[in-house]
Amino acid sequence: MFWILGNHDCDSEERYDRLFGDYPAGNIHAKAVQIDKMLVAGLGGVFKARIWHPRTEATKPMHPSRKSFLRTVPRAERWRGGLPLAAIDGIFPEDVEALGRTRADVLVTHEAPCCHKQGFFGIDMAAAACRARLVVHGHHHQSYEARIGSSRIPVRGLGKAEVFRLSMNEIR
C-alpha cells in the first residue's frame, strides 16, 4: 500500500503518527514506485503561502527547501526538532525538483493542477518534471476529467471516497 499526505494528515500529532508510524515505507512523496506495470509518483501535501503558493508560473517561492524554511523557524516552534507540524505537509520547490530526477506514468497528487479552478501551476510543473502521462488528484472532492494546458497531460480529479481503477492500457 502506498500513500501521500493530504491536507488533514498533520492536523494533530496523533494523525501524523498513525500515518507515518504505521507505514512510513508507503510514503511516495517526491518519488516513484512501480505498481504492477506502471511507474507511479507522488506529490503529497498542500501549497502554503509562507512556503510556496504557485498559482501562476511567475510565483516565486518564499522558501525553495525545507532547510531554507527551517532557518526562519524559532527553536521553540519546531516539532520534534524539525519543521513545525503544520508545515510538514507543505510542498516545496525541492519536491518538484526531486520528481524531475525520476519518471512516472502516473503522478498522484493531493492538490489540483491549473485546469481546476482552485488548482496550482506547481502541479503542472511536477507533472512535466516527471514526464507524467496522467495526473490523478483528490482534495477538492470533485470527479472530473480535463487536460493540463499546452502539455495536454490528462487529469482525473476524484470525488470524495471515489475509487479509481487504472490499467496501463488506459494511459498509452
pLDDT in tens, 108-129: 999 999 999 999 999 999 999 9
pTM for the full model? 0.94
**Is residue 115, in this structure, part of any structural domain at all?**
yes
Closest CA to 96 of 161, 31, 158, 33: 31
Cell 506514468 belongs to residue:
105
pLDDT at 166: 84
**Is residue 165, in this structure, part of any structural domain at all?**
yes
Taking residues 143-163, report their average pLDDT.
94
Torsion of CA 40, 90, 65, 59, to 10 degrees: 100
pLDDT at 171: 72
Helices (H), the chain: 13-16, 22, 66-70, 93-99, 121-129
**Is residue 4, in this structure, part of any structural domain at all?**
no
pLDDT at 22: 85
Taking residues 36-53, report their average pLDDT.
96
Evaluate if residue 170 carries a pLDDT over 80. no
CA 10/CA 63 separation, integer angstroms? 20
pLDDT at 122: 97
152: left (phi over 0), alpha (psi -120 to 50) or beta: left
CA 80/CA 96 separation, integer angstroms? 25
**Is residue 92, in this structure, part of any structural domain at all?**
yes
Contact status, residue 87 vs residue 51, Cβ threshold 8 Å: yes
**Is residue 8, in this structure, part of any structural domain at all?**
no
Evaluate if residue 172 carries a pLDDT over 80. no
Taking residues 96-103, report their average pLDDT.
98
Residue 82 φ then ψ, to 5°: -125, -145
Single-letter code of the amino acid located at 97:
E
Evaluate if residue 26 carries a pLDDT over 90. yes
pLDDT digits (tens, 9 = 90+) for 49-84: 999 999 999 999 999 999 999 999 999 999 999 999
SS3 category, 3: strand
Tell me the pLDDT band of 164, cut-offs 50, 70 and 90: confident
Number of domains in the chain: 1
pLDDT at 126: 98
According to DSSP, residue 127 is labeled H
Quote the distance between the C-alpha of residue 82 and its chain's center. 20
**Is residue 7, in this structure, part of any structural domain at all?**
no
**Is residue 3, in this structure, part of any structural domain at all?**
no
**Is residue 110, in this structure, part of any structural domain at all?**
yes
Mean pLDDT of the chain: 94
Domain span holding position 67: 13-171
Contact status, residue 79 vs residue 10, Cβ threshold 8 Å: no
pLDDT at 150: 87
CA 162/CA 67 separation, integer angstroms? 36
